Amino acid sequence: MGVRPVSPTLTLTCPLKNPILKRVEPFISPNPKSAFLDDGEIPEVPLLVFEDEVVRSSIVEICEGPCVGEMLIENVELDNDGVKEFRRRLRFKRMPNFVQSQMRICPKNVTSFENLDNMKFELDKGVLVQPYLNPMVAGISVISRFLEGQTQDTFRPKALCLGVGGGALLGFLRVQLNFEVVGVEEDEVVLEVAKRYFGLENDELIHLFAEDGIEYVKNLAKNLSEECRFDAIMVDLDSSDVSVGACAPPLEFVRKSVLVAVRAVLHEEGVVVINTIPSSKLLYERLISEFHEVFEELYEIDVGNAENFVLIATKSKVGNALEANGGAFLNKLRLVVSGSYIDSIRKIPKLLILHSENVDYRLATADPAFSSTNACAKRISNSL
């Protein structure tokens, strides 16, 4: 990386509600081009918000991978409302202000906090500090009844993680929730970095593959056996197309053939949890409608940072699993997932998109459980 990236974290937000900010948005977006992609319509434009909780940072290494290009590993000190916290972060030069992965690190044998470069740290794999990872893990709660119903002593749930980065999510699923995990990362150097600097281990319970995650799923679906089905598929793929700005998952993932392959490699009672950063409301609605075509039920968690929404899709009806009293797995989840994300999971009703001459999009619910006065109607009016 020729120039060291700025240390403050910059996040994107869509302040549509503020009319003054709305007028200036196109001029201060990090990526104004993304505002004009939807057939000449002008959807909301992401606005940079300065979130400077970084006090200082120290570069650990800069290296280059064949797919992601230059990447930076750094230790940062944060000031969280007066509380000192240290984290190790991974960023790619192609999206320098985006933290791809981060993990909490704890100072070891510290005599002085003066020089960050000389401090030694150990990784804390027991907590998730990337804002959307706790909500992603909370998403697994929709199948908690199924997991709790597994009676064999030897049962261990299996997760497929598409996009490894530093591997914080994989380590957490393994250490805190006893999952066997398969991780697929397109860049072999990122995998090396995850092992060297983020403590990811390729052992009997974590299996790592350096290849394209979408191709991996498609190939697996072609040669399927019952043992290679997953209970949870966690999708955290950033888009390599920087021209559209921050966006996840990549559009290639949302093709019907890919979603059908994902469904095929999922256990009948399994769940797919996807980190999404929609670049517009319209795109998010399209994403939802694609998932509804392939999966039985769809849920969402609003991460609350005006950026990430976690989508949760199931192959079978999970019914009122969320209202059920917790068994051992749900109780464990409640213990290890910080925040109240498990209770903020919301079902997304199936919507029909109709076209009319007078109104561009008219949406109606196909789910009798939802009337026009409920959340569905809100979603409709928001999207128009």
Ligand X SMILES: C[S@@+](CC[C@H](N)C(=O)[O-])C[C@H]1O[C@@H](n2cnc3c(N)ncnc32)[C@H](O)[C@@H]1O
Residues that bind ligand X (CB under 6 A): 68, 100-101, 162-169, 184-187, 190, 212-214, 236-238
The least CB distance from residue 381 to ligand X, in Å, is: 32
The least CB distance from residue 187 to ligand X, in Å, is: 5
Residue 230 near residue 160 (C-beta atoms within 8 A):
yes
The least CB distance from residue 234 to ligand X, in Å, is: 7
Identify which of residues 76 and 282 has a Cβ nearer to ligand X in the complex. Answer: 76
The least CB distance from residue 209 to ligand X, in Å, is: 9
Identify which of residues 162 and 298 has a Cβ nearer to ligand X in the complex. Answer: 162
Identify which of residues 98 and 334 has a Cβ nearer to ligand X in the complex. Answer: 98
Identify which of residues 101 and 365 has a Cβ nearer to ligand X in the complex. Answer: 101
The least CB distance from residue 171 to ligand X, in Å, is: 8
The least CB distance from residue 147 to ligand X, in Å, is: 21
Identify which of residues 136 and 298 has a Cβ nearer to ligand X in the complex. Answer: 136
Please say whether the dihedral angle defined by the alpha carbons of residues 52, 53, 57 and 59, taken in this order, is positive or negative: negative
The least CB distance from residue 120 to ligand X, in Å, is: 22
The least CB distance from residue 78 to ligand X, in Å, is: 17
Query: Which CB contacts under 8 angstroms, 24+ apart, belong to 250-253?
Result: 252/214, 253/214
Residues 6+ apart with CB under 8 A from 263: 272, 294, 295, 315
Identify which of residues 72 and 168 has a Cβ nearer to ligand X in the complex. Answer: 168
| CA distance linking residue 312 with residue 293, whole number of Å | 14
Residue with tokens 């109780």: 331
Query: What order of strands is seen across the sheet that includes strand 54-65?
Result: 54-65, 69-80, 83-92, 99-108, 120-124
Residue 217 near residue 257 (C-beta atoms within 8 A):
no
Chain CA centroid to CA 70, Å: 22
The least CB distance from residue 137 to ligand X, in Å, is: 10
The least CB distance from residue 215 to ligand X, in Å, is: 8
Identify which of residues 210 and 376 has a Cβ nearer to ligand X in the complex. Answer: 210
Residues 6+ apart with CB under 8 A from 294: 256, 259, 260, 262, 263, 313
Identify which of residues 311 and 363 has a Cβ nearer to ligand X in the complex. Answer: 311
Identify which of residues 34 and 101 has a Cβ nearer to ligand X in the complex. Answer: 101
Q: Which residues pair with 363 in a beta bridge?
A: 353
Identify which of residues 5 and 15 has a Cβ nearer to ligand X in the complex. Answer: 5
